[in-house]
Chains A and B, each alone.
Chain A
Amino acid sequence: MCGIVGLFLKKDDLRPKLGDMLTDMLITMTDRGPDSAGIAIYGDEAAGSTKITVQSDTPDIAFAGLEAALNEALGTTASVKTVDTHAVIVLPVEKQDAAVSFLEGKGLRIMGVGSSMEIYKEVGLPKDVAARFGLRDMGGSHGIGHTRMATESAVTTMGAHPFSTADDQCLVHNGSLSNHNQMRRKLAKKGVFTKSENDTEVGAAYISSRIAEGASLGQALEGTIDDLDGFFTFVTGTKNGFGVVRDPIACKPAVMAETEDYVAFASEYRAFADLPGIEAAKVWEPEPATVYFWER
């Protein structure tokens, strides 16, 4: 099954409440996906710096002394903020590639990299995952979240959504792709590699590779309709916005709401029940095989 939520704010005054609103939406979707939960949140960015979100099953050991080790190895001034099993590392953008290699060398899992995106995901009930990371207190301009009921790969942190396969880009998915192994091989021939056995990660890598080749977000999402086989409702996040696309059969549910303040996406209307002004919002079901996106 799986549940998806997404929220894109049109006005800045709601920014401090983004995490709070998304958390309520995420928890409402627990019955659709009690295995794992995750969220990508696009928050503040500092000029010239990048954020790397990493995860470890043994954070006490892995994150102890990480800041000093990183700074010494790279000769930089990185900061490490530990959030439960995750840590967000902020450092100058020119040190990004070296830092990713260093962190992977330490056995840390890279959740996502970007100037504004942070990704938090873990196995467990959405309410517990949200509480562990303090999602309610996070602010930002937009975010997407996912509650997982696993079908295509194991219930692990790396199998949880969102998947990020390029800087500031991420994807959540309800459905199952049937040509993901074939697509994984095609992408590998182009030098695009995935980290897990999961079908959604292949979808994310496909979109990222199309964008890297020069496609717009809209064109990359259009491409999923022709090139990916199976069932999908995708919600993708980028630095400037988010996009939605459903496969032509469209058996996976989706509903959207728009007011002057926000655009919201959810698998079910229930997730909108507490949003401000929802009674007067424009609420509709996105059409099959049709790309929607909002950017600022």
Chain B
Amino acid sequence: MTTLDMSTTPLREVNVTLQEAAKSQSNSAFEITNPRGSHAVAVGLDGPLSVTIKGSTGYYCAGMNKSATIRVEGSTGPGVAENMMSGEVVIEGDASQYAGATGHGGLLNIKGNASSRCGISMKGIDIVVHGNIGHMSAFMAQKGNLVVLGDAGDALGDSLYEARLFVRGSVKSLGADCIEKEMRPEHLEILKDLLAKAGANAKPEEFKRYGSARKLYNFNIDHADEY
């Protein structure tokens, strides 16, 4: 275990150290102390590595992650785990807006709440939120799974493509072209697996599934007069 103290080590040096360790495929463990809400902590890690951040971070924590496991023992600012390719990011506290945006793969596990635009334009990432999510979550989401143990805000899944949304609590409103769908056995299997991976205390049967009505996929000639 190597400790990097951000009260004495500049951010760039912290990230270079982590990125080099990731590149060397060393699978080593790092602990980052005193993050004090800094931006862009532990970004661009391109290999197996275990990083624990002891405190809250600012914008764009754990961005562009590939293979690394990053645990934040605090809350994160906007854009956590943006464009993640693989690996796992765990937030012990809350995540601010657009958590997991454009993520292609891996697991983003948020133990608290996520605010607006969680999973916006997600492209294959799995996101599990143990608390609530804010408005416009999964906007234009293309692929992957968003699992919410709490409630969802306004306009969930607006202009959704093929991502699957599972919500246990209430949904304030659904966005354009997002509908509730039948929960089939294969969905319960996916949910069971994700809940187990995220250490979430919930049963797959308690959730409802939402997805795309696929009405926005093609232009409807009957609407031509509206333009």
Give the B-binding residues of A (Cβ under 8 A). Answer: 248-251, 253, 255, 268-273, 283-285, 287-288
Contacts and interface: CB of A to CB of B under 8 A. Distances in A.
B115 interface: yes
Nearest to A248: B135
A273 B115 contact: no
Given A250-B97, A250-B134, A255-B77, 18 more contacts: A248-B135, A250-B116, A251-B116, A268-B37, A268-B58, A269-B57, A269-B75, A269-B77, A270-B38, A270-B58, A271-B37, A272-B37, A283-B93, A283-B94, A284-B94, A285-B94, A285-B115, A288-B116
B36 A255 contact: no
Do most interface residues of chain B lie in helix, strand or loop, or is the interface mixed?
loop
B56 interface: yes
Interface in B113-171: 113, 115-116, 134-135
Interface residues of B, number: 19
Contacts of B134: 250, 287-288
Contacts of B75: 269, 283
Interface SS, A side: loop
A271 B94 CA distance: 17
Interface in B84-105: 93-94, 96-97
13 contacts: A250-B97, A250-B116, A253-B96, A269-B58, A269-B75, A270-B36, A270-B38, A270-B58, A273-B37, A285-B113, A285-B115, A288-B134, A288-B135
B78 interface: yes
Nearest to A279: B55
A287 to B, nearest CB: 8
A249 B96 CA distance: 14
A268 B36 CA distance: 10
Contacts of A284: 94
Contacts of B57: 269
Nearest to B115: A285
Interface string B12-53: 000000000000000000000000111000000000000000
Contact of B37 (A248, A249, A270): A270
A121 to B, nearest CB: 25
Contact of B77 (A248, A250, A268, A287): A268
